[in-house]
Amino acid sequence: MTVATVAAADLGAASGRVMLARVGRDLLDLTEVHRFANEPVQLGLTLYWDVLALYRGVLAGLREAGRAARAAGGPERGLDGIGIDSWAVDYGLLDASGALIGNPVCYRDRRTEGVPERVHARLGAERLYEVTGVQQLPFNTIYQVAAAHGTPAAAAARRLLLIPDLLAYWLTGQQGAELTNASTTGLLDAGTGAWSAELATAVGLAPGALPPLWRPGDLIGTLTPDAAARTGLDATVPVLAVGSHDTASAVVGVPAEGERFAYISCGTWSLVGLELDAPVRTAASHRAGFTNEAGVDGTVRYLRNVMGLWLLQECLRGWQEQGEPAELGELLAAAAREPGFVSLVDPDDAAFLPPGDMPGRIAAFCRRTGQPVPASRPALVRCILESLALAHARAVEQAQELAGRSVEVVHVVGGGARNELLCRLTADACGLPVVAGPVEATALGNALVQARALGTLHGTLTDLRALLRAHTAPRVHLPGTDRSGWDAARRRLSGVPSLP
Ligand code: LFR
């Protein structure tokens, strides 16, 4: 086929959407056909995802995508392919009949507090890093599974499916685990590329609970009669494995040329790093908190999770909840006029991870470290964005040192590419040009991998990126020449205990 008409379902921590993409050798266009909220639900002590609402949203989006594609003269069966990506690490459990056991728990739930320490005491943190190569974040699947061990739900579980795989199962009836997302769990052996039976058993998973692996580009299956009826699509429409970890798809969607680039996939999280051919699993890399996640085409996503725009999103959500909403555009414009380097926080401080009173927690950090508490909303936003820019620069610098590769440019993709102040501050802090965009890198990466699997596109990631460059118009932010403010901020923060 010369044009592939595909749907990319992209589920984020705050919203999900379905995009309709038309991809050809000289064509790449993307339209959002459906967007729906994704709000975790606190019930008793546990924070859950409403995964059935997500499934409903995906069905509605696919219906809309098929309708729009047909109206535009697309394929008679509705779509040529469907790909699903979402945030990582979270999962649903299936019982022996294949039914979902309860709602998946959100990775920001507090059930894993203290669990990594327990797991490390038994298995050894260094050894775990050598085996999995994964940054030891408290919410990694391995710690969530360990936290739930001994509960009735865990005892009944026969299968563990990551979120995109769970939705693919409901659409096709096929069970599997897509590799890029599987690599975030802390249960995959990075050396062999297979699940580690030893680690799975050690945290109490039933034998066979981890399903066979799919690689991006594999056919997962075609729609079940039920899914076909609910979406108005033909039952022959294939669901294809893509980089089902949203960050893996976002990295495909980085319009870079050559290999001397760093990327920041910037949304709720900032995923900051490099694309490598081989993992870096040194002790120094472990100490610096870098991960080696699997990328598309056997690449390694060597990156660090920086807490990202979550800090700002949580402030906005809190103000909204109190009935005093802020208008983001105005707030950012006001923040740009604020004086710089007044107060800085470490965005990665564990105190910022759960939902809740973010301005209060930032104020507490400032008090604890002897800095002025931001006196207004614009001052608070300035503090957040400067702190993020500094954390971005630190991660870009460390990634280069640890991997032994220097970069010439930093690509910012995802929603954060829209935030000009953040991009400018990041360029200044890194001392490198920032190329901002596309905002829709994840959906584009998802669609490009599908189009290649369908035979419409050919070639490597470099070839896919050439198509991206021809059809997107990223914005370049050059760094300022005066580095003194940033260097002084770095020195000042080196005295803060939680910062390196
Ligand atoms: C970004 C992301 C990150 C992952 C975090 C939690 O959306 O997928 O890569 O560390 O969410 O799953």
pLDDT digits (tens, 9 = 90+) for 110-162: 999 999 999 999 999 999 999 999 999 999 999 999 999 999 999 999 999 99
Confidence check: pLDDT of 442 > 60: yes
Atom of ligand 1 nearest to the CA of 87: 8
Confidence check: pLDDT of 429 > 80: yes
Alpha-carbon distance values, 155 to 82, 97, 103, 152, 159 (Å): 33, 14, 15, 5, 11
Per the CB < 8 A criterion, the answer to whether 289 and 304 are in contact is: yes
Q: Supply 346's token pair.
A: 């470490």
Q: Averaged over 333-348, what is the pLDDT? A: 96
Backbone dihedral region for residue 158 (phi beyond 0: left; psi -120 to 50: alpha; all else: beta): alpha
Averaged confidence pLDDT in the chain = 96
Q: Give residues (CB < 6 A) around ligand 1.
A: 87-89, 107, 245-247, 268-269, 271, 305
pLDDT at 500 (0 to 100): 38
> Are 3-244 and 255-437+474-500 the same fold in CATH?
yes
Q: Averaged over 419-446, what is the pLDDT? A: 98
> What is the reported pTM?
0.97
Directed axis angle between helix 420-430 and helix 377-403, to 10°? 40
Name the DSSP class of 470: H
Pocket test for ligand 1, best of 134, 143, 247 (most atoms within 8 A of CB): 247
Directed axis angle between helix 484-493 and helix 377-403, to 10°? 90
pLDDT at 492 (0 to 100): 79
Q: Give CA–CA dist 404/20, Å, rounded.
A: 39
Task: Find all residues with CB under 8 Å of 99, minimum gap 6, and list them.
Answer: none
> Would you name the residues annotated as active-site residues?
246
Look at residues 135, 388, 404 and name the one whose alpha carbon lies nearest to residue 259: 404
Give the residue whose CA is nearest to atom 1 of ligand 1: 87
Q: Supply 19's token pair.
A: 């995009």
For 192, counting Cβ atoms within 10 Å of its Cβ (0-12 exposed, 13-18 middle, 19+ buried), the class is exposed
Q: Averaged over 378-398, what is the pLDDT? A: 97
Q: What is the torsion angle, in degrees rounded to the nearest 10, for the CA atoms of residue 176, residue 97, residue 108 and residue 397?
A: -10
Q: What's the complex ipTM?
A: 0.98
Domain boundaries, the chain: 3-244, 255-437+474-500
Whole-number Å distance, alpha carbon 86 to ligand 1 midpoint, is 8
Q: Averaged over 485-500, what is the pLDDT? A: 72
pLDDT at 496 (0 to 100): 61
- Would you give the end-to-end CA distance of the chain in angstroms? 52
Q: Give CA–CA dist 415/266, Å, rounded.
A: 6
Give me the percent of the chain exceeding a pLDDT of 90.
96
Pocket test for ligand 1, best of 38, 49, 85, 87 (most atoms within 8 A of CB): 87
Q: Supply 389's token pair.
A: 């820019």
Q: How far is CA 414 from the centre of its chain?
A: 10
Confidence check: pLDDT of 483 > 90: no
pLDDT at 495 (0 to 100): 63
- pLDDT, tens only, 191-226: 999 999 999 999 999 989 999 999 999 999 999 999
Q: Supply 35's token pair.
A: 């967007």
pLDDT at 498 (0 to 100): 52
In this prediction, residue 491 has a pLDDT band, given cuts at 50, 70 and 90, of confident
Per the CB < 8 A criterion, the answer to whether 427 and 478 are in contact is: yes
Residue 175's CB: how many other CB atoms inside 10 A?
A: 18
Whole-number Å distance, alpha carbon 310 to ligand 1 midpoint, is 11
pLDDT at 497 (0 to 100): 53
In this prediction, residue 1 has a pLDDT band, given cuts at 50, 70 and 90, of confident
Confidence check: pLDDT of 493 > 90: no
Q: Please report, as a single letter, which amino acid is at residue 225.
A: P
For 368, the 3-state DSSP assignment is helix
Q: Which CATH number fits domain 255-437+474-500: 3.30.420.40, 3.40.30.10, 1.10.10.10, 3.30.930.10?
A: 3.30.420.40
Q: Averaged over 372-387, what is the pLDDT? A: 98
For 66, the 3-state DSSP assignment is helix
Atom of ligand 1 nearest to the CA of 293: 9
Give the residue whose CA is nearest to atom 6 of ligand 1: 88
Whole-number Å distance, alpha carbon 89 to ligand 1 midpoint, is 7
Whole-number Å distance, alpha carbon 292 to ligand 1 midpoint, is 14
pLDDT at 102 (0 to 100): 92
Look at residues 154, 39, 174 and name the one whose alpha carbon lies nearest to residue 92: 154
Q: Give CA–CA dist 54/39, Å, rounded.
A: 10
Residue 275: what are its φ and ψ, rounded to 5°? -100, 120
Q: How far is CA 249 from the centre of its chain?
A: 9
Domain 3-244 architecture: 2-Layer Sandwich (3.30)
Look at residues 54, 497, 109, 417 and name the one whose alpha carbon lies nearest to residue 250: 417
Q: Supply 494's token pair.
A: 């080196």
